[in-house]
């Protein structure tokens, strides 16, 4: 009898151990580390600088500035990411990513903020946390849950902090695989949102891998409404329809329309004071693979629909307005719809025998182009939001070492970026853009700029990347 009891107890313990192991195996952990060195140099054109009231004797003033050069010859950063994935129930998974991103020798973003572009000068905010260097705090980049096979159909619902950064085709230069059905065209959005997605993936022989999804996200919450503390602000919401008619290893076609309602006048964590109107975008991307050659072309159109409201900026915190502007118009100008256009093309050749990848990219944005891309991994400014031209070339060399872990890999990347800015206000929608080559150093307040007029900039960089 004792032997029977011992056998039963052993089986129970073994079964319990197996269940525990099975539960533990549903949690997948991976991560990455990246060291980056950058040599940055830029040329500022002659322009008129806005001087805040506290520095100008009680009222904002204009200061003529002759062109000059600016550089940082040794900017170094550490980035560490930790990824989690769990499948607690059938057809249910949870994914999360936490990121630390900081400048060597600094616990703030000030070394990379500069006074050149709005997407950097305003500092890290809700949409760029973890993507712009800040400090050594490990922050949540995304965290969301997805339920698949709803109604016993190829339908899914996903909600949480969305993976709306690093989309196609920017993954090529990051040496990343294409984001799955959660991705979006990088020329249109590179910004972290809290929101939800409803998707549908029909099985159509003529359209392999096809799917479509509706997405919604919140860019700003205006807080409580009513009473004496009602700010009068409205929430900033974004809606998008993404259609992928073809998705295979050799051809990917993606189309998207999106609209932002009640756009804020500054990043949501920097004291929103006014809703300026709506913005809409439509565009897409196509990628193909011909042997070892990867090619892509992407394009988009942006359009503003201003409500006539004016953004006011107290740059020095003394209670006096230093600068004003509407959605792509200056005070005194008519508030009207304006459209911008951007294109993004590139190629990457992969040499399998040496594990080397060589890439070349080009993008160009028109005078009134606006991209919602402040979380792009570019130090000067998000390159796909540039009003002008950007050239980039890079070489990726994978380390030829035996793989120990499932996701284990390492590579070195060396690259060069060249920005040729044609109009002011890249990655900003306040005020009417001006031709940089026509700017002058004057004392005319009507011609004053909040940001220095960078005309050309370069970034020579090298990274060491480890994934585990």
- Read off the pLDDT band of 25 (50, 70, 90): low
Could you tell me the maximum CA-CA distance found in the chain, to the nearest angstrom?
Answer: 101
> In this structure, is residue 13 part of a structural domain?
no
Which residue would you say has higher pLDDT here, 39 or 11?
A: 39
- Read off the pLDDT band of 271 (50, 70, 90): confident
> CA angle, corner 142, sides to 269 and 286, nearest 5?
105
Q: What is the pLDDT of residue 462?
A: 98
SS (H, E, C) the chain: CHHHHHHHHHHHHHHHHHHHHHHHHCEEEEEEEEEEEEEEEEEECCEEEEECHHHCCCCCEEEEECCEEEEEEEEEEEEEEEEEEEEEECCEEEEEEEEEEEECCCCCCHHHHCCCCHHHHCCCCCCCECCECCCCCCEEEEEEEEECCHHHCCEEEEEEECCCCCCCCCCCCCCCCCCCCCCCCCCCECCCCEEEEEEECCCCCCCCCCEEEEEEEEEECCCCCCCCCCCCCCCEEEEEEEEEEEECCCEEEEEEEEEEECCECCCHHHCCCCECEEEEEEEEEEEEEECCEEEEEEEEEEEEEECCCCEEECCCCCCCCCEEEEECECCCCCCCCCEEEEEEEEEEEEECCCCEEEEEEEEEECCCCCCECCCCCCCCCCHHHCCEEEEEEEEEEECCCCCCCCCCEEEEEEEEEEEEECECCCCCCECCCCEHHHCCCCCCHHHCECCCCEEEEEEEEEEEEEEC
CA torsion sign for 371, 372, 375, 379 is: positive
Query: Distance (Å, rounded) from C-alpha 216 to C-alpha 121?
Result: 27
Calculate what percentage of the chain has a pLDDT beyond 90: 84
Whole-structure pTM value: 0.91
> Taking 70 as the threshold, does the pLDDT of residue 10 lie above it?
no
Q: What is the pLDDT of residue 363?
A: 98
> In this structure, is residue 246 part of a structural domain?
yes
**Residue 285 neighbours by CB under 8 Å, 6+ apart:** 168, 169, 185, 186, 187, 252, 253, 254, 296, 297, 298, 344
Q: What is the pLDDT of residue 23?
A: 54
> In this structure, is residue 455 part of a structural domain?
yes
- Read off the pLDDT band of 288 (50, 70, 90): very high
> In this structure, is residue 7 part of a structural domain?
no
The pair of structure tokens assigned to 463 is: 């990274």
Q: What is the pLDDT of residue 4?
A: 43
- Read off the pLDDT band of 9 (50, 70, 90): very low
CB 419 within 8 A of CB 384: no
> Taking 80 as the threshold, does the pLDDT of residue 13 lie above it?
no
Measured CA to CA in angstroms, residue 140 lies from 93, 181, 343, 394, 413 at distances of 17, 21, 31, 29, 26
Q: What is the pLDDT of residues 169-181, one digit of tens each?
A: 999 999 999 888 8
Query: Distance (Å, rounded) from C-alpha 152 to C-alpha 150?
Result: 5
Strand partners, 422: none
> In this structure, is residue 111 part of a structural domain?
yes
Q: What is the pLDDT of residue 183?
A: 85
Closest CA to 127 of 141, 115, 114, 117: 141
Closest CA to 350 of 279, 398, 389, 285: 398
The pair of structure tokens assigned to 212 is: 């479509």
CATH number of the domain that residue 215 is part of: 2.40.160
CB 233 within 8 A of CB 274: yes
- Read off the pLDDT band of 16 (50, 70, 90): very low
Residue labelled with tokens 């590179």: 190
> In this structure, is residue 23 part of a structural domain?
no
The pair of structure tokens assigned to 63 is: 């200061």
Domain range spanning residue 339? 35-225+232-467
Rg for the chain (alpha carbons), in Å?
25
Query: Distance (Å, rounded) from C-alpha 93 to C-alpha 145?
Result: 6
Q: What is the pLDDT of residues 215-248, one digit of tens each?
A: 999 999 999 988 888 889 999 999 999 999 999 9
Query: Distance (Å, rounded) from C-alpha 344 to C-alpha 16?
Result: 55
Query: Distance (Å, rounded) from C-alpha 53 to C-alpha 320?
Result: 7
Number of structural domains found in the chain: 1
> Taking 90 as the threshold, does the pLDDT of residue 267 lie above it?
no
- Read off the pLDDT band of 390 (50, 70, 90): very high
Q: Which value, to the nearest 10 degrees, does the dihedral of the CA atoms of residues 78, 344, 241, 236 take?
A: 60
Residue labelled with tokens 């533990």: 24
CB 131 within 8 A of CB 375: yes
Q: What is the pLDDT of residues 421-437, one digit of tens each?
A: 999 999 999 999 999 99
> Taking 90 as the threshold, does the pLDDT of residue 114 lie above it?
no
Candidate from 2-16, 117-131, 275-289, 301-315 with smallest mean pLDDT: 2-16
């Amino acid at each position: 009898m004792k032997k029977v009891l011992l056998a039963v107890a052993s089986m129970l313990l073994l079964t319990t151990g197996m269940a525990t192991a099975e539960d533990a195996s549903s949690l997948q952990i991976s991560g990455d580390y990246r060291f980056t060195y950058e040599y940055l140099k830029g040329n500022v054109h002659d322009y008129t600088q806005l001087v805040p009231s506290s520095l100008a004797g009680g009222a904002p003033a204009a200061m003529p500035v002759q062109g000059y050069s600016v550089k940082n010859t040794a900017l170094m950063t550490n980035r560490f990411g930790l990824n989690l994935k769990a499948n607690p129930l059938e057809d249910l998974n949870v994914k999360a990513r936490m990121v630390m991103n900081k400048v060597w020798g600094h616990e703030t973003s000030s070394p990379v903020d500069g006074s050149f572009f709005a997407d950097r000068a305003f500092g890290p905010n809700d949409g760029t946390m973890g993507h712009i260097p800040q400090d050594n705090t490990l922050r949540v980049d995304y965290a969301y849950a997805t339920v698949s096979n709803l109604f016993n159909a190829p339908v899914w619902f996903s909600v949480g902090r969305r993976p709306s950064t690093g989309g196609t085709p920017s993954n090529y230069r990051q040496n990343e695989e294409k984001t799955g059905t959660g991705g979006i065209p990088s020329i249109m959005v590179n910004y972290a949102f809290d929101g939800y997605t409803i998707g549908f993936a029909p099985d159509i022989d003529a359209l392999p891998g096809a799917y479509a999804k509706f997405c919604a996200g919140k860019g700003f919450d205006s807080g409580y409404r009513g009473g004496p503390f009602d700010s009068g602000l409205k929430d900033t919401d974004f809606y998008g329809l993404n259609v992928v008619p073809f998705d295979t290893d050799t051809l990917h076609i993606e189309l998207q329309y999106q609209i932002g309602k009640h756009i804020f006048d500054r990043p949501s964590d920097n004291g929103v004071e006014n809703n300026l109107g709506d913005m809409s975008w439509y565009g897409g991307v196509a990628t193909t693979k011909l042997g070892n050659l990867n090619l892509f072309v992407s394009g988009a159109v942006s359009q503003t629909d201003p409500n006539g409201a004016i953004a006011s900026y107290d740059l020095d915190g003394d209670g006096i307005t230093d600068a004003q502007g509407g959605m792509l118009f200056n005070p005194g100008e008519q508030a009207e719809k304006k459209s911008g256009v951007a294109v993004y093309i590139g190629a990457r050749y992969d040499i399998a025998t040496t594990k080397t990848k060589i890439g070349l990219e080009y993008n160009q944005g028109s005078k009134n182009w606006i991209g919602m891309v402040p979380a792009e991994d570019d130090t000067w400014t998000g390159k796909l939001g540039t009003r002008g031209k950007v050239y980039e070339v890079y070489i990726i060399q994978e380390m030829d070492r035996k793989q120990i872990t499932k996701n284990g890999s390492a590579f070195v990347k060396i690259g060069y970026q060249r920005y040729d800015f044609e109009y002011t206000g890249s990655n900003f929608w306040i005020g009417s853009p001006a031709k940089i080559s026509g700017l002058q150093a004057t004392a005319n307040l009507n011609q004053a700029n909040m940001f220095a007029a960078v005309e050309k900039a370069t970034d020579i960089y090298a990274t060491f990347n480890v994934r585990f």
